[in-house]
Amino acid sequence: MQLSLGFFASGRGSNVEAIVSAIKKRELKAEPKVIICNKPDAQVLELGQRERIPSYCLNTSNTANLEQEIVRVLKKHGVNLIVLAGYIKKIGLEIIEAFPDSILNIHPSLLPEYGGKNMYGMAVHEAVIGSGDDVSGATVHLVNKKYDDGRILSQGIVQVKEGDTAEALAERVLGIEHILYPLTLRYIQEGKICLSEPRKYRLL
12 binding ligand GRF? (CB under 6 A): yes
Give residue number: closest CB to ligand GRF: 86
User: Is 48 among the residues that bind ligand GRF (CB under 6 A)?
Assistant: no
Q: Which of residues 62-101 bind ligand GRF (CB under 6 A)?
A: 85-86
Q: Is 177 a binder of ligand GRF (CB under 6 A)?
A: yes
Query: Per rule CB under 6 A, is residue 203 in the interface with ligand GRF?
Result: no
Nearer residue to ligand GRF within complex by CB, 15 or 102? 15
- According to DSSP, residue 92 is labeled P
Q: Select 12 or 89, whichever has its Cβ closest to ligand GRF.
A: 12
Rounded CA-CA distance 112/115 in Å is: 6
Burial 49-78 (b: 16+ CB within 10 A, else e): eebebebbbbeeeebeebbeebbebbeebe
Instruction: Among 7, 15, 36, 185, indicate the residue that binds ligand GRF (CB under 6 A).
Output: 15
The number of residues that bind ligand GRF (CB under 6 A) is 14
**Could you tell me which stretch among 4-12, 53-61, 142-150, 183-191 binds ligand GRF (CB under 6 A)?**
4-12
Q: Per CB under 6 A, does 175 bind ligand GRF?
A: no
Instruction: Say how far apart CA 58 and CA 40 lie, in whole Å.
Output: 8
Q: How far is the CB of 190 from ligand GRF (least distance, A)?
A: 23
**Separation CA 122–CA 127 (nearest Å):** 9
Instruction: Name residues whose C-beta falls within 8 Å of residue 184's C-beta, 6 or more positions apart in sequence.
Output: 104, 140, 153, 154, 193, 201, 203
Selection from 199, 182, 159 nearest residue 26 by Cα: 182
The catalytic residues are 107
Identify the sign of the CA torsion 61, 32, 180, 113: positive
Residues lying near ligand GRF in the complex (CB under 6 A) are found at 9, 11-15, 85-86, 106-108, 138, 174, 177
